[in-house]
Amino acid sequence: MRRLIVGGVILAAIALLLWVFLPDPVPVETARVERGNLTVSVEAEGEARVREVVVISAPITGLLQRIDVHAGDEIAAGLVVAQIGPARPAPLDSRARAVAEAVAAAATAAVELARSQLDLADATRDFARTEADRARALFSRAAISKTMLDDAILAERSADAAVATARANLAVREKELESAQAVLDSEATSGAACCIGVRSPVAGRILRVMTEDEQVLQAGTPIMEIGDLRDMEIVVHVLSRDAVDIAEGAEATITGWGGPVLAARVERIAPSATTRVSALGIEEQRVEVRLALLQPPPPMLGHGFRVTARITLDVARDVVRVPVAALFRSGADWAVYSVEAGRASLRVVAIGRRNQEFAEVLTGLEEQATIILHPSDSVENGVRILQ
């Protein structure tokens, strides 16, 4: 009897020591493997755009009058939205005006000189014609030689050329006088008739006014943008490796713009990619994808608003799915920790389609199995766990 008591005490002491030094169970968060639908999608940021934006530009180079319309105003087709007139020259200071007056006076004197030269050339030509006629008459009676006749004819032709030269010189001097006088008269004529009206070719709402102030514009300078906010599309840029799985007509949802979730459909996928730099400074090849809204756009959604689009790539129905938070790499394979008899059990699994929340389980796990979420380094195969 004594031996039994001693043996029991020893066993109790050993059990107590084992209980003291036995590692505590690791607290974990668990979930169950269940069946359900798995939607595979790609998410990208983009912007809402008016499908057809009309840019109104300056038709001529001139002075743009101050614009009275503003962004957000509704306008009708054919409405005059801007006025452009001739640009006013800069006023002359005292020194520039003195120089201009001196140039005009010199031009006036040059015109008088050119007229005098023309009168002299006319008189010389009349005399040369008279001498040539006399020489022809004398030559017909054999009173002078052929050489003398040729000299008279040459003098006549030279006089005609001198008259033409003097007349052209007078025209040049008169134009120089007009140019000099125009500089002086520029301030007086600066109030010329105004203006050319720039009309809107379409009806819509003004999206943006580049400038409202009076200023000189070159022909072709954009003045404002007009569009119909009821005809909008969503433009996003996705990675090229994701774009290959997107099909035209695929369903999409629009979020992240500050309003309710909007339903959309893929309308067009660009056939080429462009290089864009990510926020981390990495060059990426991205493809433009255009989405059509399936309902009229809300009035709060404006042109250029930032949005987030989630495009559906595939939908797997009634599949065994596991939370992505339970998956981790074990060598080259995917694995999870399942809970069996209060201990963690390492299970290698094969997964198929996946999204940000769930992954499809092909092999390695059964439905209703309990798995560990976010396993830490303390969780190992066979370790006791505390749920």
Alpha-carbon span 161 to 159, nearest angstrom: 5
Q: Burial letters for 55-68: b for 16+ Cβ neighbours within 10 Å, e otherwise?
A: ebebbeebbbbebe
Alpha-carbon span 352 to 321, nearest angstrom: 10
pLDDT for the residue 72: 87
- Is residue 110 within 8 Å of 90, Cβ to Cβ? no
Question: Rounded to the nearest 10 degrees, how much is the dihedral formed by the CA atoms of 156, 158, 159, 162?
Answer: 160
Taking residue 201's Cβ as centre, other Cβ atoms within 10 Å add up to 10
pLDDT for the residue 355: 86
Alpha carbons within 13 A on the beta-carbon side of 322: 31
Alpha carbons within 13 A on the beta-carbon side of 251: 7
> Which residues, 6+ apart, have CB-to-CB distance to 211 below 8 Å?
64, 67, 223
pLDDT for the residue 50: 93
Q: Which residue has the tokens 């006399």?
A: 134
pLDDT for the residue 4: 67
Alpha-carbon span 232 to 235, nearest angstrom: 10
pLDDT for the residue 255: 93
Distances (CA, A) of 326 to 45, 337, 382: 28, 8, 17
- Is residue 357 within 8 Å of 324, Cβ to Cβ? yes
- The reported pTM is 0.62
Task: With CA atoms as reference, report the closest residue to 383 among 373, 375, 331, 324.
Answer: 375
Alpha-carbon span 167 to 114, nearest angstrom: 8
- Is residue 269 within 8 Å of 204, Cβ to Cβ? no
DSSP structure class, residue 297: P
pLDDT for the residue 307: 95
DSSP structure class, residue 121: H
> Which residues, 6+ apart, have CB-to-CB distance to 273 below 8 Å?
240, 243, 285, 286, 287
- Is residue 206 within 8 Å of 75, Cβ to Cβ? yes
Tens of pLDDT, residues 270-318: 999 999 888 788 899 999 999 999 999 998 999 999 999 999 998 888 8
Taking residue 97's Cβ as centre, other Cβ atoms within 10 Å add up to 14
Task: With CA atoms as reference, report the closest residue to 312 among 252, 372, 261.
Answer: 252
Q: Which residues of the chain have pLDDT under 70?
A: 1-4, 6-9, 12-13, 15-23, 87-93, 186-194
Question: H-type helices in 62-145, by residue range?
Answer: 94-140
pLDDT for the residue 88: 64
- What does the chain come to in residues? 387
Peptide bond into 194 cis (omega under 30): no
Instruction: Compute φ and ψ for 350, nearest 5 degrees.
Output: -110, 130
